Structures are given as structure tokens and as C-alpha cells.
Amino acid sequence: MKTVIIVAILAAACGSGSSKPTTPVANPDPVPMVEPAPPKDDPTATAPPIEPEPAKPDPAKVKAELLAAETSAYEKAKPVFEANCARCHTKSGKTSTQKKRDHFDMTTYPFGGHHAMELGKQIRKSVGIDGSKPTMPYDKKGSVKGDDLALIATWADAFDKAHAGGAHDGHGGGHGDHKH
């Protein structure tokens, strides 16, 4: 008889009708500061997480940034070009000729020339940045050095990067594989 009563009490305790919680709560703090996480099947907890849109690089923006980097590198290298190259490679240069400008015309920017879009490489080569024996400035070969040379190198890299990134689309010339 005793056993039956105990079973009946246990059954009642475990039943859903009981208003008193019978299972001890693991939290020892009588006033929990944080609400326990709702159970998985709580309908209010099933709202799908808002996935952030993956940031797609905007091609126009990428090109604009490449051009901006090139322009800023050009602005820094400009005094070096002016001091060392302008006399032969700008229209108003003292010893400038059309022939010299056909190779490299720095009268306006972007630079002109038969192979304007290859000028990054050509200029690197002409002043010896790529390890070549410098051929420019024509009258003072190899005279551009140190920081000045570094500024030209930085410009040439930015120019080539912008070109490779399609930021020069629309500029003609220089896409053939001509050799000088």
C-alpha cells in the first residue's frame, strides 16, 4: 500500500498540472540577471537570423580607387618628371621634339606616346628601375636616383595596377605586342 502512494505522489509531481516547479533550477542566484535562453521549440526564437548581404565589390568603384591611387602617385612623382624629363618630353620643353614625344609625351596626363599604355614598363626600364641600364634622361642617364626614383617606381606600379584592373579602358594604343 505504501509503495502505491509514493508512486502516486511522484506521478502527480511530474504531471503537467502542477503549478509549482518540481525540478530544482540549476541557477543558484535567486534573481537571475539574464533571462535563460528560450527553449528551441519556442516559436519566438525561430525567427531566421538576418544574413548580412555579402559585400560585392562594385567594379566601377574598384576602378575609381585604382585611378585615384594612380593619380595620387602621379602627383607625387610629377616634380621628378618635371625636373628630369620635361625638357625633352613636353611640348614646351626646351629640347623637346615631336619625335621624343612620340615615345613619351608628358605634356598632359595620362601621358601620351605611341605606346602610352605601356609607359609604366617603358619608364621603369628607361630609368633603370627594372634593373636595366638606364637610357634616360637621355643627356644624363641614370641621374634619377634614390627617393626620386622611388616616386617614379611607385607611380609606375600604380599605373600598371590601374591598367590591369581595367581602369584605363577606353584609352587607345599600346595593346599590341610591338617591340622597340
Task: Give the interface with ligand HEC as residue ranges (CB under 6 A).
Answer: 84-85, 87-89, 95, 100, 103-104, 122-123, 126-127, 135-139, 144, 180
**65 vs 128 by CB, closer to ligand HEC:** 128
Tell me how far, at minimum, the Cβ of 52 lies from ligand HEC, in Å: 47
Name which of 56 and 180 has its Cβ closer to ligand HEC.
180
CA end-to-end span of the chain: 112
Residue 147, SS3 per DSSP: helix
Residues 6+ apart with CB under 8 A from 68: none
Q: In angstroms, what is the minimal distance from the CB of 135 to ligand HEC?
A: 5
177: which 3 cell numbers?
Answer: 605586342
Looking at beta carbons only, is 66 or 124 nearer to ligand HEC?
A: 124
Question: 73 or 126: whose CB is closer to ligand HEC?
Answer: 126
CB of 126 to ligand HEC, least distance (A): 4
**Of 167 and 174, which CB lies nearer to ligand HEC in the complex structure?**
174
Which residues make Cβ contacts (< 8 Å) with residue 120, sequence separation at least 6?
155, 156, 157, 159, 160, 163
**Nearest approach, Cβ of residue 158 and ligand HEC (Å):** 15
Q: How far is the CB of 95 from ligand HEC (least distance, A)?
A: 5
Give the C-alpha distances (Å, rounded to integers) separating 175 from 4, 35, 73, 163, 164. 97, 66, 23, 11, 12
Asked if 78 and 129 touch (Cβ cutoff 8 Å), the reply is: no
